[in-house]
């Protein structure tokens, strides 16, 4: 496994919130320290210069461990986005021994002749919420699964808040910009390797409002609020919607009027034939007639809305058509 650098980016879950941080592990001949920075708020924390006696106990001591090995251990726990490797790896030892029958075999073979496998350590990290004095506890751990040693070691490090100057915040923001540039370069490189599918043709949509009020037995005239695509157009008379492409369309309308006539005050007509009748219900603004329907229409079909009620249509009337599927 590639040894990670002594600084980088990491993350924690604190109070059910993901906290993204920078970390840096600094070591000297006989001490080490850990530094963290909240990438959002730019708050910083750091341990004191720690000697082995400050964090190593009988329960977490590493065999032949020194400052260098513990620093690498801490970085392994903190490092994020490392390449994933198989946890179970074959022991490559080729040292041979004789079994109780005098046969030679690899030292790491089990009685059935299979190579013994050892486990790479799994690692983790946790960060406490800040206390009243602003300090936090950083917990790092490693799980080992070697034949000669199995167990979990934990290290508890106290992080103290770091006083920041304005220039420190600016420097931290510059690092964020550099990271963003690196991420963008990676994204561009990844996108260059993708096969871009051909662009999908835009589905058409049109929204209409009433051009003026209509009395009984007249077609309602419309004007375009907005439109997109080429599936239909509003004729110059403002009454007729002409479909230039066939397909399946979602048609919605909302009409206010004052009609007191029984029956259906409005008709939706395709090619001059009524295909839907609209009833009405009383509202504070008068009678409201609404309809939402799907229609399969052909190229050249026409659509009109006919008002059969008495009195006039009201304000706020609207109609929209959305192409759901295109058929050549």
pLDDT recorded at residue 48: 94
The two three-digit tokens of residue 130, written as one number: 């800040």
Give the number of other CB atoms < 10 A from CB of residue 288.
18
The residue behind tokens 């941080």 is: 21
Q: What is the secondary structure of 184-219 as a DSSP string?
A: HHHHHHHHHTS-PPPPPPPPPEEEEEESS---SSEE
Whether the predicted model's global pTM rises above the 0.85 cut: no
Angle at 256 between CA 240 and CA 307, to 5 degrees: 40
> Residues 247-274: what's their mean pLDDT?
83
pLDDT at 3: 44
pLDDT digits 0-9 by tens, 175-220: 777 777 777 887 777 777 776 666 556 667 777 776 566 666 777 7
Chain CA centroid to CA 90, Å: 37
Task: Map residue 162 onto helix, strand or coil.
Answer: coil
Give the pLDDT confidence score for residue 84 in this predicted structure.
Answer: 35
- Span 58-79, pLDDT tens digits: 999 888 889 999 999 999 999 8
| pLDDT category of residue 86 using cuts at 50, 70 and 90 | very low
pLDDT band at 151 (very low <50, low <70, confident <90, very high): confident
Give 87's pLDDT tier (boundaries 50, 70, 90): very low
CA distances from 44 to 116, 122, 138 (A): 45, 27, 13
Residue 157: both structure tokens together: 């490090």
Q: What is the pLDDT averaged over residues 228-235? A: 81
> What are the E-state strand segments in 15-169?
17-27, 32-38, 44-46, 88-90, 96-98, 104-106, 117-127, 136-145, 150-161
Over range 284-291, report the average pLDDT: 77
| Three-state secondary structure string covering 237-261 | CCCCEEECCEEEEEEEEEEEECCCC
Q: Do residues 299 and 245 make contact, with C-beta atoms less than 8 angstroms apart?
A: yes
Res. 148: pLDDT tops 90:
no
Set out the domains of the chain in order of their start, with CATH numbers: 7-81+111-183 (no CATH), 205-327 (2.60.120.40)
Phi (first) and psi of residue 290, to 5 degrees: -130, 150
For 95-145, the pLDDT digits (tens) are: 455 555 555 555 555 555 555 544 455 888 999 999 999 999 999 998 876
Q: Tokens 């509003």 appear where?
A: 234
Has residue 83 got a pLDDT over 50? no
């Amino acid at each position: 496994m590639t040894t990670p650098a002594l600084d980088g980016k990491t993350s924690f879950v604190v109070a059910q919130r993901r906290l993204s941080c920078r970390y840096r592990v600094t070591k000297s001949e006989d001490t080490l320290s850990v530094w963290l920075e909240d990438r959002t708020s730019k708050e910083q924390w750091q341990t004191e210069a720690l000697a082995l006696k400050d964090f190593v106990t009988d329960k977490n001591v590493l065999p032949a461990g020194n400052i260098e090995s513990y620093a690498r251990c801490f970085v392994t726990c903190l490092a994020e986005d490392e390449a994933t490797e198989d946890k179970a790896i074959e022991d490559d030892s080729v040292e041979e021994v004789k079994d109780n029958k005098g046969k030679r075999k690899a030292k790491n073979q089990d009685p059935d002749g299979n190579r013994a496998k050892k486990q790479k350590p799994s690692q983790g990290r946790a960060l406490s919420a800040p206390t009243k004095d602003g300090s936090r506890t950083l917990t790092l751990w490693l799980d080992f699964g070697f034949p000669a040693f199995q167990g979990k070691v934990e290290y508890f490090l106290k992080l103290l808040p770091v006083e920041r100057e304005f220039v420190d915040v600016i420097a931290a923001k510059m690092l964020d910009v550099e990271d963003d540039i690196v991420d963008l370069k990676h994204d561009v490189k990844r996108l260059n390797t993708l096969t871009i599918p051909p662009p999908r043709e835009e589905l058409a949509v049109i929204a209409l409002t009433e051009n003026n009020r209509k009395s009984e037995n007249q077609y309602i005239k419309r004007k375009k609020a907005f439109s997109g695509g080429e599936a239909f157009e509003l004729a110059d008379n403002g009454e007729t919607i002409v479909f230039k492409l066939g397909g399946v369309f979602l048609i919605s309308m909302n009409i206010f009027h004052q009609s007191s006539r029984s029956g259906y005050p409005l008709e939706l007509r395709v090619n001059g034939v009524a295909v839907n009748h609209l009833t009405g219900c009383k509202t504070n603004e008068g009678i409201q007639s609404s309809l939402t329907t799907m229609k399969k229409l052909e190229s050249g079909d026409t659509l009109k809305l006919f008002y059969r009620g008495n009195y006039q249509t009201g304000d706020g009337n609207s109609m929209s058509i959305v192409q759901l599927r295109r058929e050549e």
